[in-house]
Amino acid sequence: MTNSSIPAVGIDLGTTFSVVSKLDEHGRPITLANAEGDRVTPSVVLFDGQDVIVGKEALKAIATEADQVAECSKRDVGHRVFHKIFEGRQYPPEVIEAWILNKLRSDAAGQIGRFSKVVITVPAYFDEVRRKTTQDAGYMAGFEVLDIINEPTAAAVSFGFQQGFLDPKGSSNAPQRILVYDLGGGTFDVTVMDIRGTEFTALATDGDVRLGGYDWDQRLVDLVAESFIREHYVDPREDSGAAGKLWLGCEDAKRTLSVRGKAVVACDCQGYSSRVEITKRQFEEATQDLLDRTRFTAEQTLKAAGLGWDDIERVLLVGGSTRMPMVRDMLQQLSGKAPDASVAADEAVSHGAALRAGLLLAESQGKSSAFSIKNVNSHSLGVVGTDRLTKRRRNGILIPRNTTLPVTAKRTFRTSKAGQKSILVQIVEGESPSADDCTEIGKCTVRKLPPKLPAQSQIDVLFHYEPNGRLKVKVTVPETNRQVKTEIVRENSLSKEHMDGWRRYICQMDATDYR
Ligand code: AMP
C-alpha cells in the first residue's frame, strides 16, 4: 500500500491519552508501544526545571507536583494560552501539544527509524481554528502533517478495514449506515456515516469539545470531596497536592465502577484521611446529566442526517469512556440494538489515521486510492456584518454546517467610495445569529485593490473549505479580471517565526534531525 522507505504513521492526539500506529508490510495498522512499553501515552506534560517530561511519569507527578503539570491541553487548544502558568511562564496550548507529539515521534522513531510524515486526528466537532492549531502543533514537533482527519471518520475507516471493506474483494459488501459515538477523555463526537464499499461519507456530525471522561472524573471528585468535608470540614479540592491525588484516585475508581458495583477512593488532606466508598448507582446519578447531553446530541445528529434509529445498522463505540456500562445501556435503549464494541476503543482512531497516511503516501506515488472519505463541516461559516437597525454585529451564514466538503461559497462586496484601496472581511464559525457568540476565525484584509476602482465596484470573496475542514480565502475583482492576494490574519495563532523557534527548541531535545 505504501513505499516501504516511508512509514505510514497515524497519531490519535487525545485529551487524556495519545496513540501512535503505523501500517505493517501487509498494509495492516498496528499500534506502536512507547519507550515505556505502553500502547497508550498519557497526554500529560511535567515542567521540571529545564526538563520537560511527557507521559506516564508526568501523570504520576499530578499527585505530588500538580502545579508543574499540564493535563488536558487539548481542551485549551484555540485559546491564546494554557490556563495554568508554569514557573512564571505562560505557554500556548499548541506548544504543550507539540511536546506530547515530540515524545510520540521520538519513541516511534526508536522503533521504525526517522520519519516525519504523519496524519493526526482531531474531534469532528473541532472548529477551523482548533484544526489549524493542531496542524501547528504537529509542525512544532518536527512533523510534516500530511492531513488532519476526524476521529470518528478514522474509527469508521478502521472498522471498515476490519470488516474487509477496504479489500478490493470486500467492496461488494452491502452499504451500511453507522452512528459513531466517540466519547474520549475530554471530547465527545457523534458522526453518522454511510459506508459503501470503499467510500466513507459523513452525513452529519455534532459534538462537544468540552465533554469527556474527565467530566465524569470530576463528578466522582465532587462526591468524595463532599463526603470528606462532612467528616473533616476540609475541602481536598482546594489543596493542590491533595486535589491531584484525589483526581488520580477517582479516575481509577471510575474504571473499577465499569466492572464492579462499588469502588473505594482514599483521600488525604491536611493530616486527615478517609476512605470513601462510592456505589455504581451514586456515580450514575451524579453523572446522569452528562450522559443526557450525549444522548441529546446523538439524537440531534441523526435528525440532521435525515435519519431515524431504524435506518442505522450499527452504533459503533469509540473512545475509552464508552467502556462505562451506562453509555452502552443508554445507546442500547435508544437504538434498540446492542452497540458494537468490535473496534479497539483506544486504538481504532490512530489505526484509521495510519490507513489514511498509507493512502496519501500511495497516492503521492501515483497509485490508486484504496478508499475515499467525504467529510462535512461541523460548524457554519459566516461573515460578520452590521445589522442596519440595531447596529449589532451579525453572523451572515455562507456555508451551513453539515455541508459536504470540499465546498466553495462566494460573497460579493461593493466598494463604498471611488479609489478604495482595501476591504476588511471578518470570518466566524458558529450557529448563532449574533457574531459575538461565534468563534472568530480571523480577519481577512483585502489590500491592494486595483487603483481607480469606481465606487460600488464588485469584489468577490470566495471561501473554500478543504476536505479536512481547513479554510482558504480567495478574492477576485471581476471588473478588472484580477485576483487579489489575501490571507487570513488570526488573532490567537502563533506566527511562523515563533513556530520555527519552538520547533527548533522542542526538537533539539532529542538527537534526531528533522529538517
Ligand atoms: P481516550 O481519549 O479514548 O483514550 O479515552 C480516555 C478516557 O477513557 C479517560 O477519561 C479514561 O478515564 C476513560 N476510560 C478508559 N478506560 C475506562 C474504563 N474501563 N471505564 C471508564 N472509563 C475509562
- Asked whether 211 and 123 are in contact (CB, 8 A), the reply is no
The rounded Å distance from CA 319 to ligand 1 centre is: 7
Nearest to 43 by CA among 111, 146, 141: 141
Q: Which three cell numbers stand for residue 369?
A: 486510492
Residue with cell 494560552: 81
**From start to end of 151-255, where are the E strands?**
176-183, 188-196, 199-208
**DSSP-derived pairing of the beta strands 17-23 and 272-279:** unpaired
Q: What is the SS3 string spanning 75-92?
A: HHECECCCCCCECCECCC
What amino acid is encoded at 503 in this protein? Answer: R
366: DSSP letter: T
Our answer on whether the CB atom of 42 is closer than 6 Å to any ligand 1 atom is no
Instruction: Name residue, grid cell 445528529.
Output: 301
Ligand 1 mutation pick, 254, 258, 318, max ligand atoms within 8 A of CB: 254
d(CA 503, CA 515): 10
What is the model's pLDDT at position 489? Answer: 81
Amino acid at 136: D
Residue with cell 522542542: 506
Distance 74 CA to ligand 1 centre (A): 16
Which of 366, 367, 40, 282 shows the shortest CA–CA distance to 184? 40
Residue 346: per-residue pLDDT: 92
Q: Which residues of the chain have pLDDT under 70?
A: 1-4, 168-173, 509-515
Q: CB 332: neighbour CB atoms within 10 A?
A: 13
| CATH number listed for the domain at residues 9-168+342-376+497-510 | 3.30.420.40
The separation between CA 338 and the C-alpha centre of its own chain, rounded to angstroms, equals 27
- Which ligand 1 atom is the nearest neighbour of the CA of 19? 4
CA 292 to the chain's CA centroid? 22
Q: H-helix or E-strand containing 350?
A: helix 348-364
Distance 47 CA to ligand 1 centre (A): 25
Where do the domains of the chain lie? 9-168+342-376+497-510, 213-286, 381-488
Judge residue 306's burial from the number of C-beta atoms within 10 Å of its C-beta, 0-12 exposed, 13-18 middle, 19 or more buried. exposed
Is the shortest distance between the CB of 16 and ligand 1 below 6 Å? yes
Rounded to the nearest 10 degrees, what angle do helices 151-162 and 348-364 cross at? 80
With a 6 Å cutoff on the Cβ, whether 258 touches ligand 1 is yes
Q: Are 144 and 114 in contact (CB under 8 A)?
A: no
Q: Helix 128-140 and helix 496-507: axis angle, to 10°?
A: 40
* Nearest to 163, CA basis, from 122, 127, 195: 195
> What gap in Å lies between CA 139 and CA 158, rounded to an integer?
25
C-alpha to C-alpha distance for 178 and 285, rounded to whole angstroms: 29
DSSP symbol at 316: E
Say which residue the cell 446530541 belongs to: 297
Ligand 1 pocket check for 123: Cβ under 6 Å: no
Pocket test for ligand 1, best of 187, 321, 328 (most atoms within 8 A of CB): 321
- The residue type found at 223 is L
Burial of 259 per CB tally in 10 Å (0-12, 13-18, 19+): exposed
Q: What amino acid is encoded at 254 in this protein? A: K
C-alpha of residue 211 to centroid of ligand 1, in Å: 13
Given the CA of residue 213, which atom of ligand 1 is nearest to it? 10
Q: Does the C-beta of 186 come closer than 6 Å to ligand 1?
A: no
Residue with CA closest to ligand 1 atom 6: 185
CA 328 to ligand 1 centroid distance, Å = 14
- Residues 6 or more apart whose CB falls under 8 angstroms from that of 399 comprise 377, 380, 381, 407, 409, 463, 465
Pull the grid cell for residue 446: 483585502
DSSP line for 477-510: EGGGTEEE---EEPTT---HHHHHHHHHHHHTTS
* Cβ 319 under 6 angstroms from ligand 1: yes
Q: Give the nearest ligand 1 atom to 319 CA.
A: 3
CA separation for the pair 268, 274 (Å, rounded):
7
User: 189 C-alpha vs ligand 1 centroid, how far in Å?
Assistant: 15
The span from the CA of 133 to the CA of 285, in Å, is 37
Q: What is 213-286's CATH number, 3.40.30.10, 3.40.630.30, 3.40.50.300, 3.90.640.10?
A: 3.90.640.10
Please name the residue whose Cα sits nearest to atom 21 of ligand 1. Answer: 255
Nearest-CA residue for ligand 1 atom 22 is 321
Cα 37 from Cα 6, distance rounded (Å): 23
Contact 133, 58 (CB under 8 A): no
Q: Which atom of ligand 1 is nearest to the CA of 40?
A: 4
Residue 382 phi/psi, 5° resolution? Answer: -140, 165
| Most distant CA pair in the chain, distance | 79
Query: Which residues contact residue 250 at a Cβ distance below 8 angstroms, ignoring those fewer than 6 apart?
Result: 217, 220, 221, 224, 265
The highest-level CATH class for domain 381-488 is mainly beta
Task: Give the pairing type, strands 41-42 and 51-54.
Answer: unpaired
Q: Is 459 helix (H, G, I), strand (E, B) or coil?
A: strand
Cβ–ligand 1 distance for 17 under 6 Å, the answer: yes
The number of helix segments (H) and strand segments (E) in the chain equals: 10, 25
